[in-house]
Amino acid sequence: MEALITGLFRYPIKGFSAEALAQADLVPGRAIAQDRRWVVENGPSGFDPEAPRYVPKMKFAVLAAHPVVAAARTRVVGTALSASAPGRPDFHGDLGADAGRAGFAGWVRDLLGEDAREGVRVLQAPDYQFLDHPAGHVSIVNLASVRDLEARIGRPVDPLRFRANLYVEGWPPWVENGWKGRNLLLGFARATVFAPIVRCAATEVDPETAERDMPLVEHLFEQYGHRDCGIYVQVTHGGTVRVGDACSTPGEPE
């Protein structure tokens, strides 16, 4: 049984826009390059760039806490950022420079409005990525599972609500939830399934309208008795993955 990779994405600024990719190089023990490379701190989070460690995402300006973030459209090339949002001036700056990060922090502060706290800052740390799970390097969503959820709740669900790195077509619905510890091929790379992804309130926000319009976490639990959609994998053997590549059925654990 094989699936095809039909979508490949990264999210350079945690919580902000998805960027579609044609291909990516997967490296053992790492996330996709530039994925969750920066984050916007909304008030003191306790994150220390000199000694980076995992901090819960609710400390940051992310969709789970602030749906208005979905109204922003961001694009990062290298460290050059362009950002726009309805009714606000566009922003262009360099996230690799103090002035650029400070300028974008001010832009986000205005976007958040009354939800902005004292000390909005753009954070980064050398060789660090702000993943939802520090051991879940790459996330994968099975599109058949999303369609099954759509059928059960009787309304369309944009797969981008789940903010995955890879979207695959060809697996039976929900089969991936039983794959913890198994291996699979992603194009020319290999990975081990780490865990199902437990979903949060970020999925309840429409990525187009920025409205919290669908209780997806509640729907998942009501329909399936769990809050999972998608899987985290850990890259074990590096290689290039492209849209259109095969994603094989996982084998037994090594």
* Residue 249: per-residue pLDDT: 72
CA angle 213, 229, 150 (to 5 degrees): 50
In order of their start, the domains of the chain are 2-31+133-248 (2.40.33.20), 39-123 (no CATH)
pLDDT mean over 208-231: 97
> Phi/psi zone of residue 208: left (φ > 0), alpha (ψ -120 to 50 degrees), beta?
alpha
Q: Which amino acid is at 238?
A: G
**pLDDT 10s digits, 12-38:** 999 999 999 999 999 999 999 999 999
* Residue 202: per-residue pLDDT: 95
Is residue 150 exposed (0-12), middle (13-18) or buried (19+ Cβ within 10 Å)? middle
**pLDDT 10s digits, 50-61:** 999 999 999 999
Residue 138: partners with Cβ closer than 8 Å, 6 or more residues away: 26, 31, 32, 165, 166, 186, 191, 232, 233, 234, 235
pLDDT at 254 > cutoff 70: no
Give me the torsion for CA of 244, 166, 26, 240, rounded to 10°.
0
| Count of residues making up the chain | 254
What share of the chain in percent tops pLDDT 90? Answer: 92
131 vs 147: CA distance, rounded Å: 26
Single pTM value for the model: 0.95
206 vs 36: CA distance, rounded Å: 20
